[in-house]
A and B are shown apart, each in its own frame.
Chain A
Amino acid sequence: EPEVTQTPSHQVTQMGQEVILRCVPISNHLYFYWYRQILGQKVEFLVSFYNNEISEKSEIFDDQFSVERPDGSNFTLKIRSTKLEDSAMYFCASSEERDRGREQFFGPGTRLTVL
């Protein structure tokens, strides 16, 4: 069964460093998302991406964040200068269509720890 994959599973970085989280969405999906979950808190939407551009972003997704689909398979989230409060689990998701109530398929997540 097709699935969303994410690498690495755990990333440890120093505050101020840049990190890139990688995702491979399901191959025929067209819509891509990043969510994050700070420990003990709910899953929060960060950004959605379609047709090589951001379609919606939350207030969390400030200038320190960027997303890219560098090739036909990967979807990346970059944090330019990490802060302690960026420590969280980051989930990538993809969906086939943008129709009403479309299902988003989630990857296993990348746990980011900022020291």
Chain B
Amino acid sequence: AQSVTQPDIHITVSEGASLELRCNYSYGATPYLFWYVQSPGQGLQLLLKYFSGDTLVQGIKGFEAEFKRSQSSFNLRKPSVHWSDAAEYFCAVDLLTDKLIFGTGTRLQVFP
């Protein structure tokens, strides 16, 4: 079945540590890929997106993501996490229809 999987429900890191949030998709063709962040009480903010070309994409707030076709993955990374990065992170795909399909989200907790 077509799906977007975020295998980590909850991740805890120390401030200053590196971060990688995983996202895998299961579709026949390569979709368009997005990472959104949701802070408490806020809407969904786009961090970055991948359409084509360079498989390493840079986003806002120091985040980057790497598309790996062979692994059907689009993992989000940040070299040094800040306390303000604590939030819920959603991977999403666009199959060129009128909708985004979201993963279940990963809640990031940052300890000082």
Contact = CB atoms under 8 A, between A and B. Distances in A.
Nearest to B96: A100
A48 B43 contact: no
A101 interface: yes
Give the contact-size bracket for chain B.
20 to 34
A18 interface: no
B94 interface: yes
Q: Interface size bucket, A side? A: 20 to 34
A101 B98 contact: no
Interface string B18-46: 00000000000000101010000111111
A10 to B, nearest CB: 10
Interface in B58-81: none
A56 B51 contact: no
A96 to B, nearest CB: 13
Contacts of A4: 43
Contacts of A25: none
Contacts of B46: 103, 105
A45 B105 CA distance: 15
A48 B105 CA distance: 22
B97 A42 contact: no
Of the listed residues B36, B100, B101, the one surrounded by the most CB atoms of chain A closer than 10 A to its CB is B100
Contacts of B92: 43
A44 interface: yes
Nearest to A3: B43
A105 B42 CA distance: 12
20 contacts: A4-B43, A35-B100, A42-B102, A42-B104, A42-B105, A43-B102, A43-B105, A45-B100, A45-B101, A48-B98, A48-B99, A50-B98, A58-B99, A100-B94, A100-B96, A101-B51, A102-B94, A103-B49, A108-B41, A109-B43
